[in-house]
Structure 1
Amino acid sequence: MRQLLYISSSATRGQPIDVAPIMAQSVRNNRRDRVTGLLYTDGVRFLQVLEGEDADVQRVFDRIRADPRHVAIVVLHNRAVEARQFGDWAMAKRGANDSADAFDARMATMLDGASDAVRGTFLGLVAARRAA
């Protein structure tokens, strides 16, 4: 089992990202490719962890690297894991009616089963968003 964590930036600097079609496409593609994980976006950056069999995770990541909506893709870790830390595909997105506190609490719940490194990376980006 492979776990890959990366961060990237939106290629549309200064332009709002329409997250809904990204969510729908990601859910379809990842279900098809048997990849699970968590994707967080603050509208500027994407932070995603992918989990699955080595070839499946690589195929998804190759597709992401070829996606012109992403720039400055940096792999934070790419390692073998015993089991999935994210049982189902999930994507975190702050809705128009979500308070920052409610959104942050939902993120923390989604990260309950994650390793300290993965949880810290996601919560660090959430904290940076709050500080901005």
Structure 2
Amino acid sequence: MRQLLYISSATPDAAVDVGIILSASMRNNRRDGVTGLLWTDERRFLQVLEGESGAVQAVFDRIGRDPRHRGIVVLHDRAIAVREFGSWDMARRGRNDTADAFDTRMRHHLAAASPTVRGTFEGLIAARRAA
């Protein structure tokens, strides 16, 4: 199996409806056997994808062709023996979520993740909190 972690930004002035993106991602990833975690503040996306190498590559290729994304940077790409995210989760701060509640939920999702993945997500959480 393969695990790929990337970050990207929404294209300026792009009509980004995160609800539609999340719905399509959940449907496609369930169909393709891809799991992981997506963090978004609706302008930045940090995502880890897990699954069979070809399926992960197909998802990443779709993301790369999506005109709503820019500045896509792979942070790590490695072989894994077991999934760190056994079910697909979409982490998104809702309008009524406090920053603390969202951060707690993210840390729960990341509890079984490798130090690299956990550190990357926690670094983004810390940067957001410091801003």
Q: TM-score, normalised by structure 2?
A: 0.96
- What letter matches 2:109 in structure 1? M
- Deviation of 1:33 (Å): 0.9
Distance 1:108 1:16, change over 3 A: farther
Find the counterpart in structure 2 of residue 67 from structure 1: 66
Percent of residue pairs identical: 66
Per the alignment, residue 115 of structure 1 pairs with 114
Q: Is the 8 A contact 2:16 2:68 kept in 1?
A: no
Q: How far 1:43 moved relative to its partner?
A: 2.1
Equivalences for residues 1-132 of structure 1 within 5 A: 1-12=1-12, 17-132=16-131
For residue 38 of structure 2, what is the amino acid of its counterpart?
A: L
Instruction: Extract unaligned runs of 5+ from structure 1.
Output: none
Q: CA RMSD in A?
A: 1.2
Runs ≥4 in structure 1, deviation > 2 angstroms? 15-18
Segments of 5+ residues of structure 2 without an aligned counterpart are none
SS in structure 2 at match of 1:98: coil
Q: TM-score, normalised by structure 1?
A: 0.95
CA distance in 1, matches of 2:94, 2:72: 25
Structure 1 residue 16: Cα displacement: 7.8
Separation in structure 1 between the aligned mates of residue 83 and residue 104 of structure 2, nearest angstrom: 22
- Whole-Å Cα distance in 1 between the matches of residues 112 and 128 of structure 2? 22
TM-superposed CA distance for 1:42, in Å, is 1.6
Q: 2:15·2:68 contact (CA, 8 Å) conserved in 1?
A: no
| Aligned amino acid, residue 12 of structure 2 | T
Paired residues, number? 131
3-state SS of paired residue (2:24): helix
